[in-house]
Structure 1
Amino acid sequence: MNAATPGLGYDPADLTDIPGTTIFTTASSRRAYHLHRFCHSLAKPEARAAFKADEAGYLSGYALSDEQREAVLARDYNRLIALGGSFFFLIKLASTDGWSAQRAVSTMSGMSVDDYAAMMIAGGRSPEGNRSIKGKY
């Protein structure tokens, strides 16, 4: 059994076996530092306009990895999260496209916006198959 991390009451490594879950850590935040800087820049109207006018050109001003750059251009939010992105920053990209958080998340789930909304209104995704494989959480 792993030791609990002080202040958390559990070992974050115990969460890595939850299907479909990416744990956001200090390491992933560091890996996505430049991605987050890019996303944060989109808070300014002039930055959004510049990005929309020339996405690749605008991205060249940020030290993103090739994978991050490709995922931004493809609006592949699952890949961006796997590359260290935090949805709280990534939502700025979705908003730049005029997307709601609900629309962005529906793309991540493979569901239509309406189907995703209906699922959430009905209580969310079933916990079956979405719990810790070890059964701890």
Structure 2
Amino acid sequence: MCTPDIPGTTLFDGTQARKGYALNKMCYSFNSAENRAEFLEDEDAYCERYGLSDEQKRVIHERDVLGLIAAGGNVYYLAKFAGILGLDVQDLGALQTGMTKDEFKAKLQAYAN
């Protein structure tokens, strides 16, 4: 299967899904307020519980959303982590595209019209 090369974009494919399984599983756990609180109480222990790689732990600690995508994170699961940081999916889209949130929202609105 041929996949397009989109500069600056990490394609979430089967390889990335396998790479990010533990990370995405952990982020999914943040659907629970109790788990979010436990993560904030001891991030290292929480990351260890889910078996994150050293790279995944590093980008979690750095709050590097683009690094999390490169480390196998799926944006829909990462949205759970981003919520802990006070970010929403539009913030993530802006980060991915190098735009401000307002620029990203305007681009989305332009596509809708």
Residue 33 (structure 1) aligned with residue 21 (structure 2): yes
Residue 76 (structure 1) aligned with residue 81 (structure 2): no
Q: Secondary structure at the match of 2:56?
A: helix
Q: How does 1:79-118 map onto structure 2 within 5 Å?
A: 79-118=67-106
Match in the other structure for 1:120 = 108
Deviation at 1:54, TM superposition (A): 2.5
Deviation at 1:45, TM superposition (A): 0.8
TM-score, normalised with respect to structure 2? 0.84
Deviation at 1:56, TM superposition (A): 2.5
Residue 22 (structure 1) aligned with residue 10 (structure 2): yes
Percent of paired sites with the same residue: 38
Q: Secondary structure at the match of 1:85?
A: coil
CA distance in 2, matches of 1:100, 1:90: 10
After TM superposition, the structure 1 stretch with the greater mean CA deviation from structure 2, 75-84 or 87-96, is: 75-84
CA distance in 1, matches of 2:6, 2:96: 17
CA distance in 2, matches of 1:103, 1:18: 20
Deviation at 1:60, TM superposition (A): 2.3
Q: Secondary structure at the match of 2:106?
A: helix
Any unmatched runs of 5+ in structure 2? none
Match in the other structure for 2:53 = 65
TM-score, normalised with respect to structure 1? 0.71
Count of aligned positions: 112
Letter in 2 for 1:64: L
CA distance in 2, matches of 1:73, 1:105: 20
Q: Secondary structure at the match of 1:92?
A: helix
Q: Is the helix fraction higher in 1 or 2?
A: 2
